[in-house]
């Protein structure tokens, strides 16, 4: 049924997030693709996708492709710092005398000198950002509050089910 398919996809996405969240800092753009792939395989096994699981190989390839992709390799080679699941709370005005407090956590925040890049992982193939526009705008506000000296703040999505080499 459709509900079962949606639930399975959501569960798979949650587990992929956990693998990325728990990878060593070096596995994000600094290790060889082989070493990163091994670390991803271990993470998938911990998350209930052992090597004999029918989804293990495709998920391992998707996560490894992002973690060793050109964007992450480039930014990390320049001495960037990666932070995962960075919590935030942002007050947003919703009228003259009213504000709403929005809380959350950003999947990946890469601080590269005076630039901050926020990347949200999506299990989906993408490619459109429109459904995520509010979320990405919120992440920019949050990153500006957390890193007030940043000259540039960007937020994007890594579509792990599509072409995750460069966040959009």
So what's the pLDDT on residue 1? Answer: 55
Task: Please list the residues that pair with 86 across neighbouring strands.
Answer: 106
So what's the pLDDT on residue 150? Answer: 97
So what's the pLDDT on residue 27? Answer: 93
Q: Are 103 and 76 in contact (CB under 8 A)?
A: no
Euclidean distance between CA atoms 60 and 48, whole angstroms: 13
Asked if residue 8 has pLDDT above 70, the reply is yes
Average pLDDT, the chain: 91
So what's the pLDDT on residue 2? Answer: 57
Average of pLDDT values for 52-76?
94
Predicted confidence (pLDDT) per residue in 101-126, tens digit: 999 999 999 999 999 999 999 988 77
């Amino acid at each position: 049924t459709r509900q079962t398919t949606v639930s399975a996809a959501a569960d798979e996405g949650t587990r992929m997030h956990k693998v990325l969240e728990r990878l060593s800092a070096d596995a994000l753009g600094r290790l060889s693709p082989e070493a990163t792939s091994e670390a991803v395989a271990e993470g998938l096994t911990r998350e209930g996708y052992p090597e004999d699981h029918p989804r293990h190989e495709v998920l391992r390839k998707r996560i490894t492709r992002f973690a060793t992709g050109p964007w992450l390799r480039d930014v990390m080679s320049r001495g960037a710092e990666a932070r995962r699941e960075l919590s935030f709370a942002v007050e947003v005005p919703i009228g003259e005398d009213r504000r709403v407090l929005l809380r959350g956590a950003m999947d990946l925040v890469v601080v590269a000198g005076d630039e901050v890049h926020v990347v949200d992982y999506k299990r989906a193939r993408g490619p459109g950002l429109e459904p995520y526009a509010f979320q990405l705008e919120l992440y920019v506000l949050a990153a500006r509050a957390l890193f007030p000296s940043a000259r540039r703040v960007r937020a994007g999505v890594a579509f792990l089910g599509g072409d995750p080499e460069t966040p959009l």
